[in-house]
Structure 1
Amino acid sequence: MKTTSLFLLAFLLAYAGVAQPMNRFRDSQTVDAFFKYRADRKRPLILAHRGGPGSADTENSITTFDKTAKALPDVIIEMDVRLTRDSNYVLLHDPTLDRESDATGSVADKTLTELKAIKLKTLSGKLTDQPIPTFTDVLKWNRNRYMLALDVKPGTDPLLVMAEVEKYKAVHSVFVICYSMAEAQKVRDRYPSLWLAVGVNDMAGLERLEKSPLASGRLIALTPQKLQPVSFYERLHKLGILASVGTYGTGQLDEKPLSEATMGYRDLVKQGGDIITTDRPLEVSGLF
């Protein structure tokens, strides 16, 4: 345990304060290279779930995004995009404001002006002075420096969200998490060079994907938290599709002490996982 802690400290100190240049993700070739499947990949890509907040941080906030990105320059930052009553976009995981802010009620029932007056709470429930960020705020903050994973929540049209992305010339610094293959195909038809992520939950789902036009490329498979047979990941890799595995949630690796979970994270990658979607991105990255 002591050796692991010292290694993690050295890792964080080495990267502390590092920021990526503007327009790092400037074209489709850059994104394709970032996500290209490589059998010899030594380290998994790390996806920071809701931005990777600790207990004293707010989720889905620019403050947390900035903190995580400076510590892990190659991190993928995940965020939840929701539609307001007046057709604007803000970041919030839950459909209601109750858990994450000092307000109550549905996000969809509020105007952007009303939402801007609301303050976020930390994961531990402490009120902060941080406002709910708009999606536009995030695009302006990012300036194509980091890869953003857009979880466009049900009821919010991903094509309209992508129109906002286009407006800020940020198409090459995002990928869209889709809730069905049909939705993914709709987005792919409009944005053929855009990377997408879609759930592939079992061998039957994998077989359906293999017969779909989506299997032609630029796809990330959101695979079960329970590890699948090696052959499952091998079939994805044969198509050039990366496998993302979530380790967050009740009973999952992120909920266990790091000393107990270390081999679990490493087994995930050994089995065939390419991206780890985690609530503790800094600690997990330090294991590889």
Structure 2
Amino acid sequence: MKIPFLVLLITLVASNVAAQQINRFQNTQSIDDFFQYKPNRKRPLILAHRGGPGPADTENSIVTFAKTAKMLPDAIIEMDVRMTRDSSFVLLHDATLDRESNAKGPVAEWTLSDLREIKLKTLVGELTDQQIPTFSEILAWNKNRFMLALDIKPGTDPLSVMKEVQKQQAEYSVFVICYSFLEAQRVRNRYPTLWLAVGINGIEDIARLEKDSLLIGRRLIALTPQKVQPASFYERLHKLGIPCSVGTYGAGQLDEKPVTEATQEYRALFRQGGDIITTDRPVEVSKLF
């Protein structure tokens, strides 16, 4: 039976698109184009907090990352990187295993082989057959298709994590969340073209940044307060060419409200100057723009 030409054409296009997705972020220009501050941006970038799990999903897992990426190919997938007792890197938000798995105790006291025996729980506490993924498994799964936000937890060396990133040639599909200007500068010294995210909690931090050597070369994302700031706050960062990220997750925040009630607030946040919205419900928030 002959395959209709239109069906064949659609199949070929679809396969080409799928092929193009691999190594979408493969050089400095590709990541710079993605994050560069754009004053005429029509919609915010959406950052999926912990990968964007729903109540029945596991957080920080390949299953959830793949689910979010399928629905939102341009979403930024955030993950939490921790080090095991034998210096391997795994994904887990909490310092202990208690909430997210069927085991207990600090991640740092477990070896990777022992962690392979435990299973992840969903957000509502249901046990699954999913293992805690290693960071290297995530990079191998991603193949530079989606942008990854690395929240490298205290006690885990970001430079060691970046060695694994380099090993898998993934340095253009990640950015690193830093907990201080000092840490950010340490990473910048070693990786001068890497995008970094740093906390900017007030005007004083902007003033400090304006005089800091970290500003040289830019490639910075400002992690701004969850409470909406005056427009002048975001404008001052935008004048430096720095996009602003705002979190809407957590107790008392927008993500806790019904979407219908919070719609205008999400949109106002973007109009005010929030270039990146970090949310627990990325799919629903994306649909508002």
Q: TM-score, normalised by structure 2?
A: 0.93
Which one has a bigger Cα radius of gyration? 2
Question: Where does residue 283 of structure 1 map in the other structure?
Answer: 284
Q: Which digits, 9 at most, give the CA deviation of each residue in 1:74-127, with x for residues without a partner? A: 000000000000000000000000000000001000000001111000001000
| Match runs of 1:63-78 below 5 Å | 63-78=63-78
- Corresponding residue number in structure 1 for 2:244: 243
Shift of 1:20: 6.5
Partners of 1:116 and 1:139 lie apart in 2 by 18
Q: 2:286 & 2:19 partners in 1: Cα distance? A: 17
* Residues in 1 aligned to 2:277 and 2:248: alpha-carbon distance in whole angstroms: 7
The residue number in structure 2 matching 1:254 is: 255
After superposition, residues 72-87 of structure 1 pair within 5 angstroms as: 72-87=72-87
> 1: CA distance between counterparts of 2:22 and 2:53?
24
Structure 2: distance between partners of 1:19 and 1:285: 25
State how far apart, in whole Å, the 2-side matches of 1:132 and 1:79 are.
Answer: 12
The residue number in structure 1 matching 2:109 is: 109
CA distance, structure 2, for counterparts of residue 55 and residue 156 of structure 1:
28
Distance 2:32 2:21 in 1: 18
Given that residues 20 and 146 in structure 1 are in contact (C-alpha distance below 8 angstroms), is that contact kept between their aligned partners in structure 2? no
| Residue aligning to 2:143 | 143
Letter in 1 for 2:69: A
Question: Could you say which residue in structure 1 is the equivalent of 2:207?
Answer: 207
2: CA distance, partners of 1:170 / 1:133: 17
Code of the residue aligned with 1:72 in structure 2: it is L
**SS of equivalent residue, structure 1 residue 171:** coil
Partner AA of 2:233 in structure 1: F
| CA distance, structure 2, for counterparts of residue 58 and residue 193 of structure 1 | 33
| Distance across 2 between alignment mates of 1:100 and 1:81 | 14
The question of whether the paired residues in 2 share the 8 Å contact of 1:56 and 1:122 is answered with yes
> Structure 1, residues 234-281: CA drift from partner, whole Å, max 9, x if none?
111111101000000000000000011101100100100000000000
Percent sequence identity over aligned pairs? 71
CA contact 1:19–1:70 (8 Å) conserved in 2: no
Output aligned runs, 1:206-225, within 5 Å: 206-216=206-216, 217-225=218-226
Q: 2: distance between equivalents of 1:257 and 1:72?
A: 21
Task: Give the Cα separation in 1 of the matches to 2:71 and 2:30.
Answer: 22
Change (3 A) 1:209 1:19: farther
Are 1:93 and 2:74 matched, yes or no? no
State the Cα deviation string for residues 125-179 of structure 1 (Å, max 9, x = none).
0000000000001000000000000000000000000000000000000000000
C-alpha separation between the residues in 2 aligned to 1:20 and 1:179? 34
Provide the secondary structure at the position in 2 that maps to 1:197: strand
Unpaired runs of 5+ residues, structure 2, are: 1-17
Which residue of structure 2 lines up, in the alignment, with residue 263 of structure 1?
264
Cα distance, 1:213 vs structure 2:
1.6
* Distance verdict in 2 for CA 1:19–1:99, change over 3 Å: farther
Aligned position for 2:227: 226
Tell me the residue number matched to 2:32.
32
C-alpha separation in 2, matches of 1:58 and 1:214:
36
Over the residues paired in the alignment, what is the CA RMSD in angstroms?
1.2
Displacement of 1:223: 0.1
Runs (4 or more) in structure 1 with deviation over 2 Å come to: none
Rounded to whole Å, the distance in 1 between the matches of 2:160 and 2:126 is: 34
Which residue of structure 2 aligns with residue 163 of structure 1?
A: 163
Is the 8 Å Cα contact of residues 53 and 64 (structure 1) preserved in structure 2?
A: yes
Distance 1:27 1:141 in 2: 18
Equivalent position of 1:193 in the other structure: 193
Offset of 1:214 from its aligned partner? 1.7
**Counterpart of 2:234 in 1: which secondary structure?**
helix
**What's the secondary structure of 1:150's corresponding residue?**
strand
